[in-house]
Amino acid sequence: MRFVVANWKMNFLSGQARDFCEAFLAGYSPSPSVTAAVAPPFHLIRPVADSLRSRQVRVFGQNGHAEPNGAYTGEISMAQLQDVGCSGVILGHSERRQLFGETDDALVAKVKAARDWNLLPLLCVGETLEERQQGRTLEVLDRQLSILARTGPTPLWVAYEPVWAIGTGLRAEVGQIREAHAFIKSRIVTLMSLNFGPVPILYGGSITPENFPELLDIPEVAGGLVGGASLDPAKFATLVKQAG
Ligand SMILES: O=C(CO)COP(=O)(O)O
């Protein structure tokens, strides 16, 4: 099984999302060997879920609060994400960590809350350019993954997204991806009893239809978490097709 997830980030108004779904569905046929998901901004979750559900495309949140409800102005809970049609949630994206101060401690509670509300957590990990240049990539991945020792076993997907490859056109090299994915896999096996089956490890960072086939050839890569290219329905349909 391969996995392709669109992270729309803070993009699209309602009409643009409607146009995307129409154009994407015109070029997309479900395959038993690919799971496709779209993570829209909050205001678009319900219409996108309604539009894509019949074609087995899943809808994810981009973030969620650990508490089910309460006085948290501007936040959305896992319960609310589930209520509007999400079956998963992206957690720990580097933009959340860097721009909004999301900590590993906060992620422990978020992963647990996602599990409690039957949302699949897609946990993002990855090093900055400075950390890579200092030879600290595996140390950083180790720290980010160590939260799994505190969450207990949970169904999980992981995305390796080197921060320096996000939105830059600088895709990581095959050797760098293989090393990181192999390390992530070995840490997950140690940290979690794999009661929920193997954990797919996706790559993310400047994926395009031009480079995705090469990425999919890497045995350690189970699919892609796609930013910029996922805003183009034809490109996203192509990426899903390539994964099949
Ligand atoms: O951040 C990403 C997906 O979560 C990757 O973004 P780009 O595909 O635009 O590099």
Instruction: List residues near ligand 1 (CB under 6 A).
Output: 7, 93, 161, 166-167, 204-207, 225-229
Distance, in Å, from the CA atom of 81 to the CA atom of 84, rounded to the nearest integer, reads 5
For ligand 1, atom 8, the nearest C-alpha belongs to 227
Helices (H), 146-221: 148-151, 174-191, 212-216
Give the atom of ligand 1 at the shortest distance from the alpha carbon of 166: 10
Query: Which phi and psi (to 5°) does residue 34 adopt?
Result: -130, 135
- What is the pLDDT, as a whole number, of residue 195? 62
- Residue 196 is predicted with a pLDDT of 63
Q: What is the pLDDT at residue 191?
A: 87
| Nearest residue (CA) to ligand 1, atom 6 | 227
Q: Is 204 annotated to bind ligand?
A: no
Of residues 130, 114, 134, the one with CA closest to residue 122: 114
Q: Is 74 annotated as a binding residue?
A: no
pLDDT of residue 5: 98
The complex scores an ipTM of: 0.99
State which ligand 1 atom lies nearest to the alpha carbon of 167: 10
Nearest CA to ligand 1 atom 2: 227
The catalytic site residues sit at: 93, 161
DSSP state of 65: B
**Per-residue pLDDT tens listing for the chain (244 residues):** 999 999 999 999 999 999 999 999 998 988 999 999 999 999 999 999 999 998 999 999 999 999 999 999 999 999 999 999 999 999 999 999 999 999 999 999 999 999 999 999 999 999 999 999 999 999 999 999 999 999 988 899 999 999 999 999 888 999 999 999 999 999 998 888 666 678 999 999 999 999 999 999 999 999 999 999 999 999 999 999 999 9
* 99, 166, 231, 232: residue to mutate for ligand 1 pocket, most atoms within 8 A of CB: 166
What residues does each domain of the chain span? Answer: 2-243
**Atom of ligand 1 at shortest range from CA of 124:** 4
- Is 9 known to sit in a ligand binding site? yes
174-191 and 137-145 helices cross at what angle (nearest 10)? 30
Residue 204 near residue 124, CB atoms below 8 Å: yes
* Domain 2-243 CATH assignment equals 3.20.20.70: yes
Summarize pLDDT for 107-166 with one digit per residue, the tens: 999 999 999 999 999 999 999 999 999 999 999 999 999 999 999 888 999 999 999 999
